[in-house]
Structure formats: structure tokens, C-alpha cells
Structure 1
């Protein structure tokens, strides 16, 4: 009798799974209006800044996964946020509006820098006006579910092979981005998604406070100042649709300054680091060419007396073009 029951239990499970998979297969993607999708994603960007939320999300790439806990509250002082990395070495990121405090417990160190706007569940960086010229947009006809919440699924597909595509799930109730994937054709480059999520009055501001007593920790503000790379003699190759989102200079341990430029089309971002070649050679082994660091591609090369490194979640050919087609022409007066 037991064998008979187990047999039919297995049959029932197979049939039930078939019905479930049939429901999944029924979801189809159809072309969507550019204005409709961009408007939805802009609402998601605004929700990331204006909504009270708390939860756990995971980031996955190349078989590795990292979990983080986030609490975000908007009060009379603006935005307040605490992000705690749950795997590996303990790290916390405390944000108040546009200022980010990175807590490094093993060194009893707090680093202070300017926060970026594309940190999950945010997504946009810089001007989004060029997206329609370089991506096609699709949406699923049926909603999906992430962390127990219904969400609208949109696909942002590149028109050319110089960038990756994206799949976004936007919560239908709050417009909050609950899942984002970077995709290269059928391959998922990386995946970030909430596994637990609370919104609104359920979010307790008490969770904004760090578990660490940082009263006697060293606090270091990462000193940066804005620059104009072109005035310093740099002719940076920018892929079609990309513009400068950030141009700054920051000090290195050696005392030399490194130029950090961020190019973005609104979604994809490329960081370009330029440093004196001799200073770079004394701090690490240098090798020209491409390499991979998780989901991030890297391409480095020497340009005269400088070492340029381009990196980002874009095809390596795009980074190679940025690096190898960049030129340096020393400005009159020697300012660099």
C-alpha cells in the first residue's frame, strides 16, 4: 500500500509541476512603447529614493552569491539608509542623502564619500535621454512575482553589441525595483533581487542604527575634486550614447592623484582610471589587455607616461575601444 501511495504521489507531483510550468511558459514578451517603459523605470528610480522599505536582497554572478540587508527611510532630514553585507567580512554602508559612510570593522575605519544614484534598488546614472536610441523595449504580458510581490517585467535590449541588456521587475504596488538582471543574449551576467521586502509603516527606523560603536574609529573623507579631462589634455573615446556622469581626481596611497571618469548611457556605466605609469607600476603588477573580475570586464593599457584602466559591466570590446582610442595631448603650460 505504501509503494502504491508513493507512486501516485510522484505521479501527482509530476502532473502538478506540469501545470505550474505551463503557467510559466504562458508568459510572453511583446514590444512596448519607449515612453511607457522609460516612464515606468523613472517611477522605479523615484520610488527608490522616496519610499520607506526594508528587506534582504541577493547579488549573484558567476555562481557566487552575496546577501545584504537594507533599511531605507525618508524623514524630516531627507533620506537615511543602512546596508549591511551579510556574507564574508562584515561591512556596513550608512547613507544620509548624498553622503555615504563605509564601515570597515576589522580596521576600525569609516570611509566617507559621495553616494551614487545607481545602487540597487536605484538604477539610473546620469542622463537617460539617449536610452531610446540604443535600446529596444519589451514587456511581459503577465506579471511575475518576486519576494511574494507582483511585479511588472520589462526587457531593455541593446540595438548594437557594444553593451549588455537588462531585465527589470518593478513592484506593481509601490513601483519599487525588486529585481534586476544584466543579460548578454541568453546569458545572465548578474542578478540582484529582493528575497524579503517590507514597505511603508512596517519599516522601523531603529534598524538604521549600526551595530558597531564607531566612536573611536578613524574617519577618512575621500578627498575628491572635480576636473575637466579635456582641459587636462585627455581625449576620452566615448561609445555612442555614453556621456560623462562623473569627472573627479582623488589621491592614491603613493601621494599621486588618479583621475576617475565615469561614462554612462543612463543604465550602463564605464569607469576609467588614469594614473601615472611609474606610480601604478610600483604598487602592482601591470599587464596590458583584458581580464575579468566577476561580472565586471577590465581592459588596461599604457598611454605615454600614464596607465589607463577601463572597467564595467559591458562587453570587453567596448572597454578596449575606450582604452585604445583615448589620446593624451599635453596642454599648453603643462597642466595635467
Structure 2
């Protein structure tokens, strides 16, 4: 329940950091970054390339000492948008997406989970309404170049104006504008995590045959995750949103017959936070620890409020998720 966004899921040393950032630092960058509506046109161009370009390749996600590899194929054809994302480390698993439906395959338990598709993983970039980006990030337009997976790419920065969010350094294909690498940076410019293609082919080299999984899943158990829109305010929930973050979705998600979880998603256009609300079960939850946990750029904060668990999960600094949960209020009479 933490996140299905495996990378950047936007889920080592000074020498490696120097190699990773060296190309951008060696160039002469404009010392006076500024945000303008031009950044929205640029980011939309990057987003459109992720959705409208055919590509297949390997990319890696580095989070602290953890390194995960993925095989991604994306094709736009007469049936719409199709995608296959394979996790190459750990137990075999992959997700197949066609337009708005996604099926995730788990070969060892012979399980297929069908759910509403998520299309916000790498190399997509924008998560929601991008207008907040102008107010809360300074944009350094591309003035430096680098090479990623053998492709020339343009380097640009999105620098956070406050400590509620991270900064980002992105490298986009000079010809197709496809996002080839993204780095999440802390307040002092330190590298927190990054995702980058190690090899990529675009255009006609991305064949639909690469979308076909190797398993016959007809006898596998199928689980369909159901979700529906809900109104958390009508139920009595009140949240003080961090500056620049706006509601993106309010859902009730059903896990099995007896376990329902409310999910409130907020975003500033680049970063997203999910707040999960579930009923406290004295028998099941006695050993669950309250407090915070960090996994690379992802911070998690959990707290019990009344007879509920609140869990905030987001690719934002610790203080952002912590304040979001601690200032939450539950006013039951508001539900009437």
C-alpha cells in the first residue's frame, strides 16, 4: 500500500556523484534562474513525448545503496497507448498497460492484479495541474548538454523555492524531448535519488512484439482492485495542505471484502503525496509503529487519529509529510 510507483518513481560516494553531475556542472549555467510560463510549455513537451513516442529500453533507479533495473516498452498504435514495464531485479514481476487499464503479473504466486492504470512513472514528468510549478520552482532553461544512453540531451534545473519540496535536474533528448534522466536533489544540491535510461531505442525500433509477456496467465488467479471517488470532507476530514499542493484525487479503495482504505492524493505538479486513511483494528494493528520512515526521496509518516490510521507517503522532505498528518483533523459531526 506504500506506492505502486516503482520509480522516480518521480519506488555512492563522491566519485560517483562527481561523474553523475559533472557534465552539467562543467557547463556555464545562467546564474539567475527564473520561472515563467515558458517552463509549462517545456514540461508539457517532455510529457507529450513520454506519451506519444514509441520507445523501448533499459533504465535504472538508484535510491541510496539500492539499484533497480527495469525494461520499458511503450508503443502508440491503432489500439491506443500500450506499455510493458518489467522489474529485472528480485522476484519476476511486470505490469502491462493498455490505455486506462493495467494488469500486474506475479509469476511465483500466479497472480494477476487488474487496476486503473497509472501513467505517471518515468519518463513521464507532470503529475497534475502544473500552474503551481511557476510559483514554487525556479526554472533554469537548458543551456548545457550531456549524453545519456548514447543520446545527446539538454540539461535543465527545477529548483525548489522552499523546503517543502525537492529540486530536480532533468536531461531531455535533444531531438525527441523524451526524458532520459532525472535527479532528485536536496536543499544543498545533494543527490537523493535518480532514474536514467542505460539504453534506449526510439521510433520503429520499439516493436509491439516486445509487449508480450512470456507466461500463459489463463489459469492464474485474477484480483481486481476496485476504487471509487469519495468526499473526505463530507466524512469529517480536514487537511491543511502544504503551499502549492492541490487535491488531485479522493478515492476509496477496496482490498478484499472487509478492508477499505481512503486515499487522498495531492500534488504541486511535480511531486505528489498520498494520505491513506484506514480504520484502526486493535487485534491487527497493536504492533504497528507510529512515526516516520525514509526510503530515498520517499518519506512516510504514520499517526493514529481517533479510531483511524493516517499514513502520508510522498516524494517530499520529511517535514512536509509530518506536518500534513499532524495538522489533520477529524470532525465526525461534519459527516452529518
Flag whether TM exceeds 0.5 (same fold): yes
* 2:271 is the counterpart of 1:268: yes
* 2:29 is the counterpart of 1:29: yes
* 2:288 is the counterpart of 1:286: yes
Match for residue 236 of structure 1 among 230, 236, 239: 239
Match of residue 122 from structure 1:
124
Which range moves more in the overlay, 79-88 or 270-279? 270-279
Match of residue 221 from structure 1:
224
User: How far is the alpha carbon of 1:112 from its aligned partner?
Assistant: 1.0
Structure 1 portions without partners, runs of 5+: 1-20
Give the structure with higher Rg (CA).
1
- Secondary structure of the residue that 2:284 maps to in structure 1? helix
Deviations 1:96-149 (A, max 9, x none): 012111101111111111122321110111111111111111135221111111
Q: How many residues align?
A: 313
Contact 1:27 1:142 in 2 (8 A): yes
Match for residue 326 of structure 1 among 325, 328, 336: 328
User: How far is the alpha carbon of 1:300 from its aligned partner?
Assistant: 0.9
User: How far is the alpha carbon of 1:251 from its aligned partner?
Assistant: 2.1
Match of residue 202 from structure 2:
199
Contact 2:56 2:206 in 1 (8 A): yes
Match for residue 167 of structure 2 among 143, 165, 168: 165
Contact 1:117 1:125 in 2 (8 A): no
Match of residue 152 from structure 1:
154
User: How far is the alpha carbon of 1:276 from its aligned partner?
Assistant: 0.7
Which range moves more in the overlay, 282-291 or 209-218? 282-291
Match for residue 105 of structure 1 among 104, 107, 122: 107
Which range moves more in the overlay, 28-37 or 268-277? 28-37
Could you tell me how far apart the structure 1 residues matched to 2:153 and 2:286 are?
A: 45
Could you tell me how far apart the structure 1 residues matched to 2:274 and 2:335 are?
A: 28
- Secondary structure of the residue that 2:72 maps to in structure 1? strand
* 2:254 is the counterpart of 1:251: yes
Match of residue 185 from structure 2:
183
User: How far is the alpha carbon of 1:24 from its aligned partner?
Assistant: 6.7
Could you tell me how far apart the structure 1 residues matched to 2:189 and 2:253 are?
A: 38
User: How far is the alpha carbon of 1:173 from its aligned partner?
Assistant: 0.7
Contact 1:263 1:270 in 2 (8 A): yes
Could you tell me how far apart the structure 1 residues matched to 2:242 and 2:131 are?
A: 15
Give the root-mean-square deviation of aligned CA atoms.
1.9
Structure 2 portions without partners, runs of 5+: 1-20
Q: Give the structure with the larger helix fraction.
A: 1
Match of residue 143 from structure 1:
145
